[in-house]
Amino acid sequence: MIRQLEVDGVPALLAPTTGPSHAGLMFRVGQADETLARRGVTHLLEHLVLHPLGAADYHYNGTTDTLVTHFHLQGSVHDITTFLTGVCRTLRELPAGRLATEKAILRTEWSNRTASALDQMPLWRYGARGFGLVSFPEWGLNAITVDDLQDWAGRYFTRENAVLWLAGADLPAGLRLDLPAGQRMPVPAPSSTLPETPAYFAGPGGSTAVDAVVARHVAANVFTGVLERELFRALRQRDGLSYTAATNYEPRGDGHATITALADALPEKQDAVLGGFIDVLAKIRIGRIDDADVAAVIGKATEALSTADVDGARLPSAAFNLLTRQRVDSSDDLLRQLKEVTPEAVHEVATSALAASLLMTPRGCTADWAGFVAAPTGSATMVTGTSHAGLGGLSQRLVVGSDGVSLTSSGSDEFATVHYDRCVALLAWPDGGRQLVGDDGISIRVEPTLYQGLTTQPVDEAVPPQVRVDLPARDPQEVPQPPPVPRRAGAFSRFRALGTPQQLRIAALGFVAVAVGGLAMAITIAMALGATELRVLPTISCWITAGYLIRTFVKAWQEAG
């Protein structure tokens, strides 16, 4: 049983465990609470808090997720007291001298991060704000100051915005959580860039994936398990198309949850995986749900809820529920809810989930044939202002107006626009390059090296200073350059296009050999027709020369392969 207590004004959850004690202090703040221009502030703060703890004999760690920041450990009662007291003390007295070092560590961590096939899903659903920020790099690290961190800690790392959980016999008698007063922070309201669903976009890789936002319910969790079984059976066991065919269910903290499904594929099987994936979705949508699958998923969940240490294992998720003002159910309540789930309830979840779904197809593939609408890749409006033609062979045109920037290509009626009042980040390099990112995720590069007569001063003056992010100097090779102007194909250029210099020499030799041979043939025919003025000796010389040239040509051709 999970008991609800309190320590120094901080809500606490306690549950027994048969193993070693473990505990955590969770705060309701994460990446979704940041802005793109200060992306990384929570992660940086978490690193600074853990640094003074050094190399301890117990295992501890910290994580920064979408909605929560979590400091947790496994150890003795004394270890728990030492760790949690140290976390609260450092939150009040941040090690400012460590700031530059931790920034460098975070940049190294990001550079070595393995990209996930699902990285772009939040961006396409939410844009460049709130829940969509997890798709972006931690661009804001350079601009974050100690004052920024202290303000962030004072706003979010408070006793009203925290939950302590502990798996053990009892709360440590000497535990103190010295945190400032504050308030419980609400979950950010979700944004959307999808005017219509179900929608699709072509991903950067070869995987197929789908996500859907549904009402949080035990039946939705069961549906997630049923979908995984169907995908695994169809794409891996039956057809051998995928290695990974998996799903995930993640509460969003606002009464909803996100269901995600993914299937990978080799390049030559991507079309087949996409088709098989969509077939599974269609099958579930029309209600063809195997009762045995529903029973199997419920049975597995029931087994997990029946172990001796189930309440201790559930403490982090219970802390998340408490932080986000969701109900904290007992294990018995969850077991009862599981047993009430029917195939009809699973089908109801499937219908609503797939109606609001976002599908990621492999690169270059579409899904309009399956009833999915293409997610927007451009903007609805274009600014008026000074037009700058692309340099060299660049066919794009950049328009800088008083209210924003637009980018369009010749021969296309599509365009992208970032309005200054909806710009959430202006990346600025010392060489003059700029990149504007709108809250809908639209991004436009403003590079003076690419456009005729372009200066970035109007953009710098118009964009709010709080969204500007000054970045380190780029390597000269990273500064974009215009593509070369396509040359008009004259006779010489067409001739050069035939091949390499060696190939051209062989071709010329063959041409001469054919010409001399043709001349010898013409003389011979003329003599046979009675042209007595022609001489035999020159004719024989032509034949000999032609034979030599043809022999040389054949040898050169064979040597060239």
Co-location of 22 and 108 in the same domain: yes
Can you count the helices (H) and strands (E) in the chain?
16, 20
Q: In this predicted model, what pLDDT tens digit does every residue of 321-344 receive, in sequence order? A: 999 999 999 999 999 999 999 999
pLDDT at 504: 55
Co-location of 330 and 230 in the same domain: yes
- Residue at 485 is within a domain: no
pLDDT at 498: 41
Co-location of 436 and 308 in the same domain: no
Judge whether residue 488 has pLDDT over 60: no
Co-location of 369 and 435 in the same domain: no
pLDDT at 174: 85
Co-location of 448 and 351 in the same domain: no
Co-location of 435 and 295 in the same domain: no
- Residue at 184 is within a domain: no
- Residue at 47 is within a domain: yes
Report the C-alpha dihedral over residues 313, 186, 345, 225, rounded to 10 degrees.
-40
- Residue at 179 is within a domain: no
DSSP 8-state class, residue 158: S
pLDDT at 526: 63
Express the helix, strand and coil content of the chain in percent, nearest 5 each.
Answer: 45, 20, 35
Co-location of 154 and 242 in the same domain: no
Co-location of 79 and 103 in the same domain: yes
pLDDT at 560: 53
Looking at the DSSP bridge assignments, the partners of residue 147 are: none
28, HSE (Cβ side, Cα atoms, 13 Å): 27
Count of the separate structural domains present in the chain: 4
DSSP 8-state class, residue 441: S
Task: Tell me how far apart the alpha carbons of residues 556 and 558 are, in angstroms, rounded to a whole number.
Answer: 5
pTM of the model: 0.84
Co-location of 15 and 57 in the same domain: yes
pLDDT at 412: 81
Task: Tell me how far apart the alpha carbons of residues 89 and 105 are, in angstroms, rounded to a whole number.
Answer: 23
pLDDT at 531: 59
DSSP 8-state class, residue 31: G
> Quick one: average pLDDT of 103-109?
93
pLDDT at 514: 67
Judge whether residue 559 has pLDDT over 60: no
Domain of 400? 385-478
What lies within 8 Å, CB to CB, of 81 at 6+ separation is 172, 174, 175
Co-location of 231 and 143 in the same domain: no
pLDDT at 282: 95
- Residue at 124 is within a domain: no
Instruction: Tell me the percentage of the chain whose pLDDT exceeds 90.
Output: 78
pLDDT at 513: 64
What CATH number did the domain enclosing 415 receive? 2.30.29
Q: In this predicted model, what pLDDT tens digit does every residue of 407-462 receive, in sequence order? A: 998 878 889 999 999 999 999 999 999 999 999 999 999 999 999 999 999 999 99
Distances (CA, A) of 532 to 10, 45, 523, 553: 120, 104, 11, 33
Q: In this predicted model, what pLDDT tens digit does every residue of 499-536 receive, in sequence order? A: 455 555 666 666 666 666 666 676 666 666 665 555 56
Co-location of 24 and 101 in the same domain: yes
What CATH number did the domain enclosing 98 receive? 3.30.830.10
Q: In this predicted model, what pLDDT tens digit does every residue of 109-166 receive, in sequence order? A: 988 888 888 999 999 999 999 999 999 999 999 899 999 999 999 999 999 999 999 9
Judge whether residue 493 has pLDDT over 50: no
> Quick one: average pLDDT of 49-58?
80
pLDDT at 214: 97
pLDDT at 492: 35
Judge whether residue 167 has pLDDT over 60: yes
- Residue at 23 is within a domain: yes
Q: Which three-class secondary structure string do you get for 272-307?
A: HHHHHHHHHHHHHHCCCCCHHHHHHHHHHHHHHCCC
Q: In this predicted model, what pLDDT tens digit does every residue of 225-270 receive, in sequence order? A: 999 999 999 999 999 999 999 999 999 999 999 999 999 999 999 9
pLDDT at 276: 97
pLDDT band at residue 103, thresholds of 50, 70 and 90?
very high
Judge whether residue 358 has pLDDT over 60: yes
Judge whether residue 30 has pLDDT over 80: yes
- Residue at 489 is within a domain: no
pLDDT at 328: 92
pLDDT at 489: 47
Judge whether residue 77 has pLDDT over 70: yes
Give the residue carrying structure tokens 């009662």.
Answer: 77
Judge whether residue 41 has pLDDT over 50: yes
Co-location of 316 and 433 in the same domain: no
Q: Which three-class secondary structure string do you get for 240-252?
A: CCCCCEEEEEEEC
- Residue at 380 is within a domain: no
